[in-house]
Structure 1
Amino acid sequence: MAPVQLKLTPQQALSRLVPHILDLASKAHGQRIAIGLAGGPGTGKSTLAAELVTTLDTTHPGIAALVPMDGFHMKHAKLEAMGQVDYKGAPHTFEGADFVSFLHHLKLATGPVSGPGYSRKIEDTVENAFTVQPEARILIVEGNYLLLTEGPWAGVKPLLDYSVFIDVPRDVVQARLMKRHGEEGLFTEERNRAHIERNDLPNYDLVCLSQDRADVVISMDVFG
């Protein structure tokens, strides 16, 4: 079935998603549900995911937990050994199977579960960056590759109870990525521009091909 297509501002998206997610949770008979927020790099899904968790927790304290895919980047040292640093962030530079296993475990877990995060300050993963508490009934899962059908990523979609694809124009994404890569001052502007052209934008293009697998596609009105 084709996804529902919506054009919304970030605030409208939040207002629309929160009641729908709470309704899904109320019908889950106490089981955990996983809500996937997919989209290319620089589309604002991390921000929306964090705001969803905050808003859901305001209505029902402790009900939601954020589960970022980015903590499953391969370790930088491993990428160096593989000669793949220039392609960091591409699907094959993640521990995709580990992410699927982690998500499967999370949906069934009855105790606290800690997971890894990714720090742009050191450009590497950090162990035990977050903990999902037992009372969390809603997992807000966000990442680029949640809807891909290639390799281990194909195992993610069956674990999602509802999936949202965030669509933002390519030129807006490019500008955001230049700003993001420059914020920590780790690399030159020239390097950042080359990395975006070689890696980030092709990843964005790849991810856009998976949007038809979502339940809803939100074309984000970034100027609204």
Structure 2
Amino acid sequence: DAQLNRLGLRHRKGAPETFDAAGYAHALHRVRAGEPDVYVPGFERDVEQPVAAALVIPAAARLVVTEGNYLLLGAERWAAARAEMDQVWFVTGDEDVRLRRLVARHVQFGKGEIQAREWVAVNDEPNAVLVHHTMPSADLVVENSADGWLLVR
């Protein structure tokens, strides 16, 4: 939150412009280029802060699984990251379950129930709609359902 406050983006936390897409793409490029161990940031939910060099991708890694809501946006700042990936899978699921989990996570980490619901409605849901529209660009779509993982396409 410190950087988002500095940038005046705290109210948009989680939106595409609040991520270091160029840094992400650079780290992926280094991994693909076979550089020695590549250290990447993690995120510490308890303090709501990224942590530099929290994770390491060892040089011996043959498969790297990464996540990101905006990998398929097509915007130039995200296209560089997408270019470093062999495949991008889109994970979908029950919307009611997603919303309940999202509100619960916000409550778990300090927001009141009403504040959490408002944050989800005003900030998180517009981001989710944006992400949902990128699904057709995915290489594979899978659904996390009560029956397990299902291949959608």
* Fold shared by both chains (TM-score > 0.5): yes
Residue number in structure 2 paired with 1:98: 23
Quick one: which amino acid aligns to residue 5 of structure 2?
Answer: E
Q: Distance in 2 between matches of 1:177 and 1:103?
A: 28
1:89 equivalenced with 2:14 (yes/no): yes
Summarize deviations over 1:38-70 as a string: whole Å, max 9, x none: xxxxxxxxxxxxxxxxxxxxxxxxxxxxxxxxx
C-alpha RMSD of the superposition: 1.5
1:210 equivalenced with 2:144 (yes/no): no
Q: % of aligned pairs identical?
A: 34
Quick one: which amino acid aligns to residue 93 of structure 1?
Answer: T
1:187 equivalenced with 2:111 (yes/no): yes
Aligned length: 148
Q: Distance in 2 between matches of 1:83 and 1:188?
A: 23
Q: Distance in 2 between matches of 1:115 and 1:203?
A: 24
Quick one: which amino acid aligns to residue 140 of structure 2?
Answer: V
Quick one: which amino acid aligns to residue 130 of structure 2?
Answer: L
Residue number in structure 2 paired with 1:17: none
| Matched-pair contact (CA < 8 Å) for 2:22–2:81 | no
**How many angstroms does 1:178 deviate by?**
1.0
1:197 equivalenced with 2:121 (yes/no): yes
Could you state the TM-score of these two structures normalised by the residue count of structure 2?
A: 0.89
| Matched-pair contact (CA < 8 Å) for 1:147–1:156 | no
Could you state the TM-score of these two structures normalised by the residue count of structure 1?
A: 0.62
Q: Distance in 2 between matches of 1:220 and 1:187?
A: 27
Residue number in structure 1 paired with 2:2: 77
Summarize deviations over 1:175-220 as a string: whole Å, max 9, x none: 0101111223x22222211111111111111101111111111122
1:220 equivalenced with 2:144 (yes/no): yes
Q: Distance in 2 between matches of 1:151 and 1:197?
A: 27
Quick one: which amino acid aligns to residue 181 of structure 1?
Answer: H
Question: For structure 2, which runs of at least 5 residues remain unmatched after alignment?
Answer: 149-153
Residue number in structure 1 paired with 2:62: 137
| Matched-pair contact (CA < 8 Å) for 1:165–1:214 | yes
Q: Distance in 2 between matches of 1:158 and 1:113?
A: 18
Distance 1:110 1:78, change over 3 A: closer
Higher relative contact order (CA 8 A, sep 6+): 1
Q: Distance in 2 between matches of 1:125 and 1:160?
A: 23
1:116 equivalenced with 2:41 (yes/no): yes
Q: Distance in 1 between matches of 2:103 and 2:88?
A: 28
Residue number in structure 2 paired with 1:126: 51
Question: For structure 1, which runs of at least 5 residues remain unmatched after alignment?
Answer: 1-75
